[in-house]
Each structure stands twice: as structure tokens, then as C-alpha cells.
């Protein structure tokens, strides 16, 4: 939700151009508008360029300079206009502010500031930050004015301020991510919402914690504790990512690259977390309740987890994190809450995890992005380490999380090594299956679906969460209305939606529910539906079959990947941007 990027001591002297390139890598965090501010080499007057719309092919003619700050916006307060694009300046135009989050108490500040004569030029909550700092600067040094202002803001926020007099960037974090990159060789410093923005310059990073601030100028970088306003030691870490992880690597879109990466990422996940999984198994055996939570795709992963746990002989509960609070009081010391999140920054998931923790529950995170807020608040982290997931819609993180939950449940049933073997075999089989022939078949099906208004997806048992994720991928990536139903639910009402040639995907596995699902397929067919089977077997009920590998409980992996690929090619065919679907942001850091 909004991307922040800054450079200090840009060695090319074209800091605005460096920031523009970095912002393009962060666009998945929001693409309603973008903006850059620079302190020019030969002037103290800040220069700003900002526009509504995607950053796409944008160029900038901002003057030379060594320090610049930029932003890509996912609009919350104020419409998508040039004026509401960040950065926002104070009345004197001495400082520029960009922001990720929501200032919940901005209206009270705005009224006071207007009374004091401040002039506002946008409808955003962010602009109050610039004017508040301007007020405080009258009595104290800029750095402390920024600290004090930031501490007065309620909500989850991250800000970065460019001060022209200090020639410094001051950034503060509370709930929204900020990471700094240090390029020691070239004496350059970077600041971003996420690592891909600066990864080509350095892998030496520091993820800010909540309640911390950094001040970066040409002499170096200082870390502060916001509570005490005292400097503290900054200990960097070196990331072992590869540069290709943050690039498209020959694929036309990150989404397609990330779908194909699943051939490796699922198996890689299986080799991680041995010790941590043992810890979680013990927690589960010592407790009496398991709760799984997540939002969107992660919530479908949680739901699949519930089926996996049941197959391991253990009962569990699932909530969408955003609907968890009414039930949070049932969590206590005997509860193990498993929070699933790609980003580890989803506000609803964080609130649910914090609440459960307050009630005494043990909290486990199954996350992909490293250094996240979720990671810091939980008892055990099960990282899935698929590398940066840059496409807005989640694919490889989801399947790695699913594999992690499968392994956890197999360990609960004392079947850790068979679980590992099955995941490794799954990976090999997927690699062979995901070939040109499959892609050509999917593209032909996509061609026949381009002008449809609705498609339906059914599944039973593990294929029910799989169907839900399958439908979400199609909706998100191509804007085609796809609705998932539990196969057994059709006859209770939804079958009214089926007419002649209505496309119906039937997800199935060779399991105990096969015949029931085929009966549901027959019911759809009898109403004229066009039945596209996604399964490891043929059936007279299917008009067409997309054959997936037969892997027992793990058959759902192939079934889901079909949905990811259909979503991608439908997106292309229907003129959507598969990497950046409209209205969405990669991490939803607001409630
Ligand atoms: O980062 P998280 O996994 O917590 O994000 C949760 C959802 O916002 C996310 O899965 C969303 O549904 C994506 N658009 C899925 O493709």
C-alpha cells in the first residue's frame, strides 16, 4: 500500500532519475499516482514532479541532484489527482513529505493548522504532516520536529521527509515497512518500502522496527529510537537474494515468471523450517485449539490447512483475519494461532495476531517477505522464502505456504519424512507437466472465454479452497467474474445461474469425493453448462479436460496452477495488466 523510495549521495548526480527507476520497481504497491522531489545541486528550492496515473514509461526532466525522494500511491484519503499525489510540501516549501499508511487523527490537526494560517493544496491526510513539522520547526531542530510530529500521528504509518536545509532524508516507521540499503563501496544510501527498489545497488540492508527512525545525509546514516529520541546502533544484514529475483528474467510479466518459479520454490520450501516445525508441533500437542487466519489468497491457504489438519486427525478453525475479532476472545493460552501472510504487513492479519497474542495464544507466522511486522510479533516464524513476489496477485508464496502447512500437518501426524518426499515428488512432477503443450491448451481455452461475463468453479474437500483460489486468480488478473462454490452447494440455489454454455470448471482429485463431484458436474451439464474438468482423470461428464498430475492430497497444487495460468492469459487477452490489476495493492496495510 504505497511505495516509498529515496536515494542520498546518488553517484550519478541524477538522483531523480534513480528514484524514478526505483519507483517503477515498487509500483506493485500502488499505482494511482506517482511523484518525486529533489533538492537540485545548485539551488535550495525543492523541485517536484507528480502525476495521477501509473508510472509506466514516465521520464523526468528534473534537474541534477544527489538527494531525492519518491512515492507511488494507493489512494485512501483524497481522489486520484495530481494535487493528491505525493510528495506534499509545507507552506515555505522547505520540506517534502511522502507517506505510507493512514493518519487516523488528521482532521483534528488540519483544523488547528488552518486556524494558524497554513494553506493546504490537497485533500490528503499526508499533507498535515508537512504543516505539522513546519509548526514544530519554529522551536526545535528539524530532526526532533519530525520525530515529535510522527509520534503524534495515530494509525499505522511510515513517512520520509526531505529537508532542503539539512540536505537529509528523515524516515520514521510505525506499522508500515521501511528498509534502508547501504552501498558502502559507492557511499550511496537508499530507503524503500521494499528491497527490490534498490537491490541492484546493494544487498546490505536494515529493516526498521516500529518506533525507529533513520536520518540519512551525505555523511552517513543514523538510527534513532523514537521514544527516547536517542541514537542507537544500526546492525545491517546481508540478503542472499539473487539479482534475477527482482527482475523479470526473460518473462513478459512478473506474474508469469512467478507462476513458473513454483517448479523450484515449492521444493525449496520443503527443505526449510525443520526445527521450527517441530516447535510448532509441540505447541499444538501441548495446546487444545488451532486457529488459522489470513486474508484473500492467504485465507484460502488457511482453509486448505484446515482440511490438511483434519486429514492428520486434528481439528482446527479458520477465519478470514478481517472477521476474526468477534471470536478472538475464545483464544487463550491453549490456542495456537497460525497467521498466513505473503507480506507480513496486512493490517487485518496483524490486528488478529496481536489480539490473539494479547489473549495468551501462541502465534505462528507463515510468511514470505522477510523482516515484516508479523514476523516480529509472533512466537515462531515459518518463512517460505520464495524470494520477492512482485506481481500484485499472489502465486508462488501461496503454494509455498500451502506446502508448509501440508508439512506441518504431516509432522503432527508423525509423518514428516513421507511429507517431505511427497512435496519433493510434487515439485518434480509439476516441472514436467508445466510444458508448452499445457500452455497451448490453456491459451485455446482462454480464447474461447475472452468475451464471457461469468465463469463458475466448483470443488469439494481440498478442492473447495482450491476452487476459491482458482476463481480469485481469474477475477483479480482478468476482471472476468469467476465464482467458486462448494460442489455440494449447487443444488441449494446457485444452480439457477447455469444456462446454455455457461463455462463451469470442475476441480477434482482421485479421492473419496470424486464421484460426488462428478455428480455435481452432471447436474451442471444437465442445465447446459460447458464443463471443463481440471483433474487427473477423464470423465464423460467433462466436455473438455485440463489434465493435472495425480498426486493424492497434493493434486490441488496442479489444479490451482491451472487457475493462475488461466488468470494470467485471460488478463492479457482482456487487456488487463497482469502484474498490476486495477484498484489492488500488494500489501494492504490499512484496516
Ligand atoms: O500479504 P498477505 O498474504 O497478507 O495478503 C493478503 C491478501 O491481501 C492477498 O492474498 C490478496 O488477496 C492478493 N491480491 C491475492 O492475490
Reported as half-sphere exposure (CB side, CA atoms, 13 A), residue 409 has a value of 25
Ligand 1 atom, smallest distance to 588 CA: 8
Catalytic residues: 2, 586
Band of pLDDT at residue 373, cut at 50, 70 and 90: confident
Average pLDDT over residues 462-488: 97
Q: How far, in Å, CA of 266 to CA of 82, rounded?
A: 42
**Run of H or E residues at 127:** helix 127-137
Residues 6+ apart with CB under 8 A from 382: 272, 273, 276, 277, 280, 364, 365, 366, 367, 404, 408
Q: Residue 589: is its pLDDT beyond 80? A: no
Beta strands in 74-137 (DSSP E): 88-89, 95-101
Q: How far, in Å, CA of 20 to CA of 11, rounded?
A: 15
Residue bearing cell 470424486? 514
Give the residue, 77 or 412, on which the prediction is more confident.
Answer: 412
pLDDT at 409: 98
Percent of the chain topping pLDDT 90 = 83
φ, ψ at 270 (rounded to 5°): -65, -25
Band of pLDDT at residue 241, cut at 50, 70 and 90: confident
The CATH classification of domain 268-430, taken from the options 3.30.1950.10, 2.40.50.140, 3.40.50.10490, 3.10.129.10: 3.40.50.10490
Is any atom of ligand 1 closer than 6 Å to the C-beta of 346? yes
The CATH classification of domain 3-239, taken from the options 3.40.50.2020, 3.60.20.10, 3.50.50.60, 3.10.110.10: 3.60.20.10
pLDDT at 470: 98
pLDDT at 567: 97
Average pLDDT over residues 174-190: 93
Is any atom of ligand 1 closer than 6 Å to the C-beta of 587? yes
Q: Residue 585: is its pLDDT beyond 90? A: no
Average pLDDT over residues 450-460: 96
Report whether 420 contacts 273 (CB < 8 A): no
Report whether 307 contacts 555 (CB < 8 A): no
Ligand 1 atom, smallest distance to 393 CA: 16
Indicate the average pLDDT of the chain: 94
Axis crossing angle, helix 254-270 with helix 416-433, rounded to the nearest 10: 150
Ligand 1 atom, smallest distance to 394 CA: 16
Helix extents (H) in 248-395: 254-270, 274-286, 297-311, 347-358, 373-377
In the reported structure, the alpha carbon of residue 522 is separated from the centroid of ligand 1 by a whole-number distance in angstroms of 34
pLDDT at 487: 95
Q: How far, in Å, CA of 590 to CA of 189, rounded?
A: 28
Cell of 404: 508448509
Residue bearing cell 517536484? 48
Band of pLDDT at residue 75, cut at 50, 70 and 90: confident
Residues 6+ apart with CB under 8 A from 141: none
Task: Count the Cβ atoms, other than its own, within 10 Å of residue 138.
Answer: 7
pLDDT at 339: 98
Is any atom of ligand 1 closer than 6 Å to the C-beta of 341? yes
Is any atom of ligand 1 closer than 6 Å to the C-beta of 343? yes
Average pLDDT over residues 225-240: 93
Report whether 553 contacts 512 (CB < 8 A): no
Cell of 467: 476452487
Report whether 102 contacts 76 (CB < 8 A): yes
Residue 169's Cβ-count burial label (10 Å; 0-12, 13-18, 19+) is buried
DSSP 205-271: EEEPPTTEEEEEETTEEEEEETTTTEEE----EE----GGGGS-TT-SSHHHHHHHHHHHHHHHHHT
For atom 9 of ligand 1, which residue has the closest CA?
296
In the reported structure, the alpha carbon of residue 395 is separated from the centroid of ligand 1 by a whole-number distance in angstroms of 10
Q: Residue 92: is its pLDDT beyond 90? A: yes
Question: What are the percentages of helix, strand and coil residues in the chain, rounded to 5?
Answer: 40, 25, 35
- Please state, in angstroms and as integers, the Cα–Cα distance from residue 179 to each residue in 231, 464, 590, following that order: 17, 38, 19
Is any atom of ligand 1 closer than 6 Å to the C-beta of 372? no
In the reported structure, the alpha carbon of residue 516 is separated from the centroid of ligand 1 by a whole-number distance in angstroms of 31
Is any atom of ligand 1 closer than 6 Å to the C-beta of 298? yes
Band of pLDDT at residue 29, cut at 50, 70 and 90: confident
Residues 6+ apart with CB under 8 A from 497: 454, 456, 483
Three-point CA angle 540, 545, 550, nearest 5°: 100
Q: How far, in Å, CA of 438 to CA of 356, rounded?
A: 44
**Domain(s) of CATH 3.60.20.10: residues in the chain:** 3-239
In the reported structure, the alpha carbon of residue 4 is separated from the centroid of ligand 1 by a whole-number distance in angstroms of 20
Tens digits of residue pLDDT in 390-409: 899 999 999 999 999 999 99
Is any atom of ligand 1 closer than 6 Å to the C-beta of 513? no
Beta strands in 437-480 (DSSP E): 454-459
Percent of the chain topping pLDDT 70 = 99
The three-class DSSP label of residue 266 is helix
Q: ω before 87 within 30° of 0 (cis)? A: yes
Q: How far, in Å, CA of 96 to CA of 86, rounded?
A: 9
Is any atom of ligand 1 closer than 6 Å to the C-beta of 152? no
Tens digits of residue pLDDT in 376-386: 899 999 999 99
pLDDT at 325: 95
Average pLDDT over residues 136-156: 95
Average pLDDT over residues 47-60: 87
pLDDT at 31: 82
Tens digits of residue pLDDT in 274-310: 899 999 999 999 999 999 999 999 999 999 999 999 9
φ, ψ at 577 (rounded to 5°): -95, 105
Q: How far, in Å, CA of 253 to CA of 27, rounded?
A: 13
For atom 13 of ligand 1, which residue has the closest CA?
393
Report whether 447 contacts 439 (CB < 8 A): no
- Please state, in angstroms and as integers, the Cα–Cα distance from residue 107 to each residue in 112, 127, 137, 153, 155, following that order: 9, 11, 21, 11, 13
pLDDT at 435: 92
Average pLDDT over residues 421-441: 94
Handedness of CA 484, 489, 491, 493 (dihedral sign): negative
pLDDT at 566: 98
Strand order in the sheet with 188-192: 47-52, 33-39, 67-73, 3-8, 188-192, 179-183, 204-207, 237-238
Is any atom of ligand 1 closer than 6 Å to the C-beta of 394? yes
Tens digits of residue pLDDT in 100-112: 988 999 999 999 9
Quote the pTM value: 0.78
Q: Residue 244: is its pLDDT beyond 80? A: no
pLDDT at 582: 87
Q: Residue 96: is its pLDDT beyond 90? A: yes
Q: Please give the radius of gyration of the chain, using alpha carbons only, rounded to the nearest integer.
A: 25
**What secondary structure letter does DSSP report for 14?**
B
Ligand 1 atom, smallest distance to 395 CA: 16
For atom 6 of ligand 1, which residue has the closest CA?
295
**Domain(s) of CATH 3.40.50.10490: residues in the chain:** 268-430, 435-577
Report whether 391 contacts 370 (CB < 8 A): no
Average pLDDT over residues 116-122: 95
Average pLDDT over residues 120-145: 95
pLDDT at 196: 82
Residue bearing cell 516549501? 93
Ligand 1 atom, smallest distance to 374 CA: 4
Q: How far, in Å, CA of 460 to CA of 508, rounded?
A: 7
In the reported structure, the alpha carbon of residue 586 is separated from the centroid of ligand 1 by a whole-number distance in angstroms of 7
Is any atom of ligand 1 closer than 6 Å to the C-beta of 476? yes
Average pLDDT over residues 150-154: 95
In the reported structure, the alpha carbon of residue 589 is separated from the centroid of ligand 1 by a whole-number distance in angstroms of 11
Q: How far, in Å, CA of 75 to CA of 81, rounded?
A: 10
Report whether 410 contacts 537 (CB < 8 A): no
Residue 465's Cβ-count burial label (10 Å; 0-12, 13-18, 19+) is buried
For atom 12 of ligand 1, which residue has the closest CA?
296
Ligand 1 atom, smallest distance to 346 CA: 4
Residue 42's Cβ-count burial label (10 Å; 0-12, 13-18, 19+) is exposed
pLDDT at 580: 87
In the reported structure, the alpha carbon of residue 374 is separated from the centroid of ligand 1 by a whole-number distance in angstroms of 14
Phi-psi region of 155 (alpha: psi -120 to 50; beta: other; left: phi over 0): left
In the reported structure, the alpha carbon of residue 588 is separated from the centroid of ligand 1 by a whole-number distance in angstroms of 8
Give the total residue count for the chain: 591
Q: Residue 56: is its pLDDT beyond 80? A: no
Residue in 458, 427, 467, 476 with CA at minimum distance from that of residue 303: 467
Average pLDDT over residues 24-45: 90
Is any atom of ligand 1 closer than 6 Å to the C-beta of 365? no
In the reported structure, the alpha carbon of residue 436 is separated from the centroid of ligand 1 by a whole-number distance in angstroms of 29
For atom 7 of ligand 1, which residue has the closest CA?
296
Topology of the domain comprising 435-577? Rossmann fold (3.40.50)
Best of 298, 390, 468, 576 for a ligand 1 pocket test (most atoms within 8 Å of beta carbon): 298
Residue bearing cell 534475477? 244
Best of 295, 324, 482, 587 for a ligand 1 pocket test (most atoms within 8 Å of beta carbon): 295
In the reported structure, the alpha carbon of residue 375 is separated from the centroid of ligand 1 by a whole-number distance in angstroms of 16
Tens digits of residue pLDDT in 477-497: 999 999 999 999 988 988 999
Is any atom of ligand 1 closer than 6 Å to the C-beta of 559? no
Amino acid at each position: 500500500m504505497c511505495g516509498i523510495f529515496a536515494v542520498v549521495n546518488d553517484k550519478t548526480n541524477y538522483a531523480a532519475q534513480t528514484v524514478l527507476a526505483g519507483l517503477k520497481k515498487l509500483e506493485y504497491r500502488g499505482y494511482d499516482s506517482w511523484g518525486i522531489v529533489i533538492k537540485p545541486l545548485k539551488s535550495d528550492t525543492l523541485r517536484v514532479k507528480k502525476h495521477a496515473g501509473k508510472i509506466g514509461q514516465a521520464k523526468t526532466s528534473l534537474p541534477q541532484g544527489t538527494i531525492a525522494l519518491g512515492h507511488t500511491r494507493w489512494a485512501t484519503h483524497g481522489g486520484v489527482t495530481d494535487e493528491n499525489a505525493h510528495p506534499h510540501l509545507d507552506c515555505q516549501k522547505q520540506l517534502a513529505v511522502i507517506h505510507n499508511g493512514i493518519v487516523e487523527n488528521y482532521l483534528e490537526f488540519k483544523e488547528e493548522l488552518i486556524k494558524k494560517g497554513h494553506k493546504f493544496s490537497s485533500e490528503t491526510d499526508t499533507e498535515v504532516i508537512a504543516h505539522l513539522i513546519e509548526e514544530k520547526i519554529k522551536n526545535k531542530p528539524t530532526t526532533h520536529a519530525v520525530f515529535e510530529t510522527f509520534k503524534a500521528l495515530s494509525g499505522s504509518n511510515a513517512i520520509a521527509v526531505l529537508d532542503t536545509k539539512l540536505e537529509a532524508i528523515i524516515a520514521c516507521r510505525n506499522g508500515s515497512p521501511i528498509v534502508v540499503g547501504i552501498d558502502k563501496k559507492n557511499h550511496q544510501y537508499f530507503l524503500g518500502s521494499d528491497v527490490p527498489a534498490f537491490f541492484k545497488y546493494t544487498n546490505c540492508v536494515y529493516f526498521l522496527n516500529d518506533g525507529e527512525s533513520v536520518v540519512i545525509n551525505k555523511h552517513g546514516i543514523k538510527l534513532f529510537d523514537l521514544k527516547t529520541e536517542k541514537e542507537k546502533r544500526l546492525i545491517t544484514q546481508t540478503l542472499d537474494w539473487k539479482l534475477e529475483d527482482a527482475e523479470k528474467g526473460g518473462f513478459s510479466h512478473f506474474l508469469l515468471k512467478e507462476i513458473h518459479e513454483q517448479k523450484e520454490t515449492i521444493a525449496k520450501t520443503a527443505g526449510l523450517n525443520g526445527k521450527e516445525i517441530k516447535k510448532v508441533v509441540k505447541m499444538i500437542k501441548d495446546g487444545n485449539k488451532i486457529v488459522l487466519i489470513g486474508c484473500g489468497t492467504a485465507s484460502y491457504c488457511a482453509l486448505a490447512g484446515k482440511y490438511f489438519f483434519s486429514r492428520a486427525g486434528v481439528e482446527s478453525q479458520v477465519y478470514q483475519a478481517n472477521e476474526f475479532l468477534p471470536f478472538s476472545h475464545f483464544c487463550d493460552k491453549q490456542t495456537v494461532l497460525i497467521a498466513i501472510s505473503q507480506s507480513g504487513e496486512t493490517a487485518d492479519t496483524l490486528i488478529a495476531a496481536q489480539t490473539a497474542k494479547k489473549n495468551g495464544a501462541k502465534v505462528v507466522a507463515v510468511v514470505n517477505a522477510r523482516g515484516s511486522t508479523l514476523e516480529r510479533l509472533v512466537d515462531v516464524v515459518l518463512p517460505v522464502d520464495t524470494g520477492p513476489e512482485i506481481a500484485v496477485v499472489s502465486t508462488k508464496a501461496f503454494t509455498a505456504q500451502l506446502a508448509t502447512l501440508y508439512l506441518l500437518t504431516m509432522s503432527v501426524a508423525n509423518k514428516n519424512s513421507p511429507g517431505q518426499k511427497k512435496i519433493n515428488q510434487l515439485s518434480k512432477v509439476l516441472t514436467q507437466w508445466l510444458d508448452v503443450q499445457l500452455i497451448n491448451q490453456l491459451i485455446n481455452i482462454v480464447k474461447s472465454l475472452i468475451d464471457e461475463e461469468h465463469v463458475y468453479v466448483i470443488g469439494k474437500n481440498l478442492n473447495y479452497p482450491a476452487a476459491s483460489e482458482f476463481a480469485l486468480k481469474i477475477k483479480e488478473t482478468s476482471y472476468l467474474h469467476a465464482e467458486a462454490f462448494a460442489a455440494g452447494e449447487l443444488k441449494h440455489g446457485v444452480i439457477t445461474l447455469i444456462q446454455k454454455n455457461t463455462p463451469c470448471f470442475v476441480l477434482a482429485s482421485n479421492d473419496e469425493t470424486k464421484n460426488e463431484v462428478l455428480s455435481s458436474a452432471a447436474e451442471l451439464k444437465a442445465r447446459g453448462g460447458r464443463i471443463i474438468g481440471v483433474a487427473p482423470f477423464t470423465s464423460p461428464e467433462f466436455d473438455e479436460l485440463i489434465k493435472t498430475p495425480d498426486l493424492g492430497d497434493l493434486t490441488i497444487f496442479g489444479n490451482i496452477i491451472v487457475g493462475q495460468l488461466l488468470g494470467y492469459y485471460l488478463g492479457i487477452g482482456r487487456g488487463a495488466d497482469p502484474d498490476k490489476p486495477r484498484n489492488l495493492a500488494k500489501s494492504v496495510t490499512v484496516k
